[in-house]
Amino acid sequence: MTLLTRPFMQVDVFTAVPYLGNPLAVVLDGSGLSDAAMQTFARWTNLSETTFVLPPSPEGAAAGADYRVRIFTPGGELPFAGHPTLGTCHAWLAHGGQPREAGVVRQECAVGVVALRKLASNETAGHTTGAGADRMAFAAPPLTRQTPDAAHLAQVLNALGLQPAQVLAAQSLVNGPEWLGLLLDSPDTVLALTPDHAALKTLGQKVGVAARAPSAASDPGHPADGLLIARSSREARAFTPAHTAMAGPGSTAEPDLWVRAFAAPVGVAEDPVTGSLNASLAQWLIADGYLPSRYLATQGQALDRDGQVFLSQDAQGQVWVGGDVAICIQGTVTL
């Protein structure tokens, strides 16, 4: 195959501050690349996801898609993923992409056409954060969920080092990717986990763990504000002196939900900030009354990151998943 010079970006997703979110490699012209070539490059970048932008398929174009994206982890292709959706959209727009419909970007992937739009200021759960003027949100794909098999759940808890009493609720969540979602008793429990990743890989199970901040747990109608646990956890686990220097003014939001994602079966021990998981968690936790219709999730502290994910449900019941994106590398790649 003849190698070509292709436009390329590496962006950081779910953060306004570069290097505190989830990195994504975006090849802005994937035309002519074989599946094997895409997989090889994704394995080489060694990021949790690498995406390739293509013209929409005839079916996608008929559904209004502006472009098609293929999403690869080091271990295989994904039908959908959240941070690649936001990051690819941001890169496509920054590269000069023009949506067919003003104000809406329609991105085709293996689960269908996903709509993205700017997140309104009243959809940030009342939290104050930096950036935000170009903060986009994607429409969470339809979710199917069910109670997990008890024996399988017990094996997963053992791999995580959890006791059953620490789990408030559990659901198998599928919105393209499949996650076992666990709502735990406290953010401290979430942050202290040291999973057996080899065991999770053997079980073939991706796991998302989450816990509500104390005020969100006691009163879902009132988002958390100024929580001691949020503040202390950030200082102790996320904001090293270097991070503090980078954070700058305006990044004062305190989260309602603390999240971690373990994905050993697809070659990623822990994902820094995970859009697909946060989308499915929101659809579950809002529907079952654990959280309000607008809240802020944080993820990545165990990896020295500080991702922020804005979740909101509109009047029609659609959940939107929003966040900032920072461009870190811009140029070309030979593929």
- Whether 317 maps to a domain, the answer reads no
Please list, in sequence order, all residues whose beta carbon lies within 8 angstroms of the beta carbon of residue 123, skipping any fewer than 6 positions away.
137, 294, 310, 312, 320, 322
- Whether 111 maps to a domain, the answer reads yes
Q: Are residues 154 and 76 in the same domain?
A: no
Q: Are residues 180 and 45 in the same domain?
A: no
Cα 68 from Cα 54, distance rounded (Å)? 5
Q: What angle do CA 98, 175, 44 make, to 5 degrees?
A: 65
Q: Are residues 177 and 218 in the same domain?
A: yes
Torsion angles phi and psi, residue 157, rounded to 5 = -60, -40
Q: Are residues 275 and 221 in the same domain?
A: yes
Structure tokens at 7: 């436009």
- Whether 37 maps to a domain, the answer reads yes
- Residue pair 21/319 in contact (Cβ under 8 Å)? The answer is no
3-state secondary structure of 173: strand
* Nearest alpha carbon to residue 140 among 313, 324, 298: 313
Q: Are residues 109 and 84 in the same domain?
A: yes
What pLDDT shows up at residue 171?
98
Residues in the chain with pLDDT < 50?
Answer: 221-251
Catalytic residue flag (residue 49): yes
Global confidence as pTM? 0.86
What pLDDT shows up at residue 267?
79
Q: Are residues 175 and 302 in the same domain?
A: yes
- Whether 316 maps to a domain, the answer reads no
Please state the domain count of the chain.
2
Name the residue range of residue 288's domain. Answer: 146-311
Q: Are residues 197 and 50 in the same domain?
A: no
Q: Are residues 299 and 229 in the same domain?
A: yes
Bridging pattern class, strands 104-109 and 76-78: unpaired
Q: Are residues 112 and 129 in the same domain?
A: yes
Cα 25 from Cα 46, distance rounded (Å)? 10
Over the chain, what is the mean pLDDT?
Answer: 88
- Whether 241 maps to a domain, the answer reads yes
Report the CATH number at residue 74: 3.10.310.10
Q: Are residues 134 and 155 in the same domain?
A: no
Q: Are residues 249 and 188 in the same domain?
A: yes
Q: Are residues 127 and 30 in the same domain?
A: yes
